[in-house]
């Protein structure tokens, strides 16, 4: 049984590694393209270009396959950033995931913004980019980048504060006006896994405080899901092999002794 489990884990690790490398190389090459188009490393240029490529790649898949049915387990395993790339599924979460993963490869830390809409938590997902202690707000699904009257990218608190006075009057055509940042937001959906994630939240509050916990974006650390799977399954594979070797130590020792005797016998016959 342990041998079967170890074999399954090894196979799953290799498949996940293959997906991870493919996805990472694709996003890496895309990031290099963005950097080449923004030689002065200007953030406005980088965000505009990254957003352009996000929609260039994601939009056709959404148009072709969003209403089609898929049952492959890969749909669940790639949900973090490639569900829309492969299947045209995921809407705001898929666009935000792909965009944030691209920005990570360019060198920027990002956070998911899980927005309250119409008195409902998680009504929309956007992204903030961390820059000089500011959280600059963009909406990957609509392709909208929030900018002030001087053309500078705006942080999420400013957008919320001046929504009615300025920002709601300068939305792109695809932007849904109900995503107005007036009902609050969070950076991690701590209720996603029920009791487990809520317990994790309370533990984090106990150790590092509520303010720091509320500012954590777990999505930043799990966006490359296949990479996480590779490390987890590799560790489980090694553990299962170690357990198997310990349980079958007498058999392993007998096999090693047999092989050693065979080797010595061959040497003895050669010498004669």
All residues at 6 or more sequence positions from 102 whose CB lies less than 8 Å from its CB, including other chains: 27, 30, 31, 34, 50, 53, 54
Q: For residues 173 and 255, which has the higher predicted lDDT (pLDDT)?
A: 173
DSSP letters, 35-73, are HHH-TT--HHHHHHHHHHHHHHHHHHHHHHHTTS----T
Q: Check whether 237 has a pLDDT greater than 90.
A: no
Write down the domain spans for the chain: 1-37+224-256, 42-187
CATH topology of domain 42-187: C8orf32 fold (3.10.620)
Q: Per this entry, what is the length of the chain?
A: 272
DSSP letter at 167? G
Q: Return mean pLDDT, the chain.
A: 85
Q: Check whether 128 has a pLDDT greater than 90.
A: yes
Q: What is the pLDDT of residue 252?
A: 60
pTM for the model: 0.80
Reduce the DSSP state of residue 106 to 3 states and report it. helix
Please give the radius of gyration of the chain, using alpha carbons only, rounded to the nearest integer. 25
Lowest mean pLDDT among 18-22, 135-139, 163-167: 18-22
pLDDT tens digits along 75-123? 776 666 787 888 888 789 889 989 999 999 999 999 999 999 988 888 9
pLDDT tens digits along 32-54? 999 999 999 999 999 999 999 99
Structure tokens that stand for 125 in this block: 């997902």
């Amino acid at each position: 049984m342990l041998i079967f489990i170890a074999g399954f884990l090894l196979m799953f690790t290799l498949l996940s590694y293959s997906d991870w490398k493919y996805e990472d190389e694709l996003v890496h090459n895309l990031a290099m393209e963005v950097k080449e188009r923004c030689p002065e490393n200007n953030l406005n240029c980088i965000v505009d270009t990254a957003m352009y490529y996000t929609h260039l790649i994601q939009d056709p898949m959404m148009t072709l396959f969003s209403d089609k049915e898929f049952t492959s387990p890969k749909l669940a395993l790639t949900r973090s950033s490639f569900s829309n790339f492969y299947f045209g599924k995921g809407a705001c979460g898929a666009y935000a995931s792909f965009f944030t993963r691209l920005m990570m490869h360019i060198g920027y830390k990002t956070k998911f913004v899980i927005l309250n809409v119409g008195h409902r938590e998680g009504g929309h997902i956007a992204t903030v980019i961390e820059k000089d202690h500011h959280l600059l707000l963009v909406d990957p699904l609509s392709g909208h980048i929030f900018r002030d009257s001087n053309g500078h990218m705006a942080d999420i608190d400013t957008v919320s504060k001046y929504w009615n006075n300025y920002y709601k009057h300068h939305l792109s055509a695809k932007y849904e006006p109900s995503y107005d940042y007036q009902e609050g937001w969070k950076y991690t959906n701590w209720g996603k896994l029920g009791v487990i994630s809520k317990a994790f939240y309370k533990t984090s509050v106990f150790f590092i405080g509520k303010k720091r916990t509320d500012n954590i974006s777990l999505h930043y650390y799990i966006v490359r899901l296949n990479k996480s799977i590779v490390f987890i399954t590799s560790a489980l594979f090694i553990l299962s092999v170690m357990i198997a070797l310990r349980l079958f130590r007498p058999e392993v020792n007998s096999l090693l002794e047999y092989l050693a005797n065979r080797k010595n016998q061959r040497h003895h016959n050669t010498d004669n």
